[in-house]
Amino acid sequence: MLTYNDLKEKPKEFLAATSLTVEEFELVLPMFRRKYCELFTPGLTRKGKPRQRKEGGGIKEKLRTDEDKLLFILVYQKTYPLQTMHGLQFGLSQSQTNYWIHRLLPILRESLAELGMVPERDPQAVAKNPLVNESAPDLLIDGTERRRQRPKDAQKQAEYYSGKKKAHTDKNILLANTHSRKVVYLSPTEMGKKHDKKIADENAIAYPPGATLGKDIGFQGYDPKGVLTFQPKKSQKAKS
C-alpha cells in the first residue's frame, strides 16, 4: 500500500507521483490539515450526527494520517487514474476511493488557493499576478492536451479530434515562470481541434511590462504587444 512514510524516502518517485518535492509537500500540509479539521464539529460524526462512541473508535480507516490523505489526492490529481486503479494503490475499494476524492479535492483546492499557489484563471489579471512576477516575468507558453471519452455525436467527434495527438482531447494553454517553474496561468478548457495560437489570441492575455515569452511552433505569429517573444531552436544534435 502506498504511504507517505514510505514514499518520502524516494525523492524522485515522490516528485513523479505528486508533482511536489517532499519539502513543498510539507509546506502545503499544515494548511491542508487545518482545512480538513474545519470540516468537522467536535462531538459529531462526519454526517453531522451525535457520536455514539469516542472519536477514533470503530473500524480504522486506511487513510489514517493527514499526510496520507494529502498524498492520496495529489497522486490522483497528477496521474488521474481510474478510481479502481487508484484505490488499489491505497488499499481502498472503488466506492471508498470515490468518497475520498470528493471529500479531499475541495480541501486541496482551498489550501492551495489560500497559500497563493493556484494558477491565475483571468487572462486580464495575469500582468499583476505575484506568481507571474516572481523573480522576473520570464515566461513560457505551451498547449497541453489530455484524452477524453470519444463523443457519440459526429460533429462533436470532429471538434474534439486532435490531429496532433490522433485522439479526442481537451486542451488548455499554460503559462509558466522560468525562474520558479510554477504554472502561473491556466486558460479555459477548449476542444482538441482548436489551434494553440487561436486560443491564446482569444484569451487576450495581459502581460506585465518587459516580459519575455518563450514559445514553440504552435504559437508562430503570436507576438503580444510589449512582450519580447522567442522560439528556441533545436540543436543539430537533437534533430539527428
Confidence of residue 1 (pLDDT cuts 50, 70, 90): confident
User: 184-231: per-residue pLDDT in tens?
Assistant: 999 999 999 999 999 999 999 999 999 999 999 999 999 999 999 998
Q: What would the grid cell of residue 183 be?
A: 504554472
User: 131-142: per-residue pLDDT in tens?
Assistant: 999 999 999 999
Are 119 and 184 in contact, with CB atoms under 8 Å apart? Answer: yes
Average of per-residue pLDDT across 152-177: 92
Give the whole-angstrom CA distance, residue 195 versus residue 166.
Answer: 14
Are 102 and 95 in contact, with CB atoms under 8 Å apart? Answer: no
Counting residues of the chain whose pLDDT is more than 70, the rounded percentage is 90
Give the whole-angstrom CA distance, residue 176 versus residue 214.
Answer: 10
pLDDT at residue number 165? 86
Counting residues of the chain whose pLDDT is more than 90, the rounded percentage is 73
Confidence of residue 235 (pLDDT cuts 50, 70, 90): low
pLDDT at residue number 59? 61
Q: Is the pLDDT of residue 240 over 80?
A: no
Across all residues in the chain, what is the average pLDDT? 89
Q: Is the pLDDT of residue 233 over 60?
A: yes
- Of residues 232, 200, 206, the one with CA closest to residue 219: 200
pLDDT at residue number 40? 72
* CA 62 from centre of chain: 25
Average of per-residue pLDDT across 9-17: 94
Beta strand 138-147 pairing with 167-177: antiparallel
User: 79-93: per-residue pLDDT in tens?
Assistant: 889 999 999 999 999
pLDDT at residue number 38? 86
Are 226 and 190 in contact, with CB atoms under 8 Å apart? Answer: no
pLDDT at residue number 164? 85
User: 100-126: per-residue pLDDT in tens?
Assistant: 999 999 999 999 999 988 899 999 999
> Is the pTM of the predicted complex or chain greater than 0.85?
no
User: Which residue did the predictor score with more confidence, 27 or 46?
Assistant: 27
Q: Long-range contacts: 178-182, Cβ < 8 Å, 24+? A: 178/138, 178/139, 178/140, 178/214, 179/134, 179/135, 179/136, 179/138, 180/131, 180/134, 180/135, 182/117, 182/131, 182/134
Give the whole-angstrom CA distance, residue 66 versus residue 39.
Answer: 13
Alpha-carbon distances of 118 from 109, 124, 132, 162, rounded to whole Å = 8, 16, 11, 28
DSSP string computed for 78-120: HH---HHHHHHHHT--HHHHHHHHHHHHHHHHHHHHHTT-SPB
DSSP string computed for 9-20: T-HHHHHHHHSS
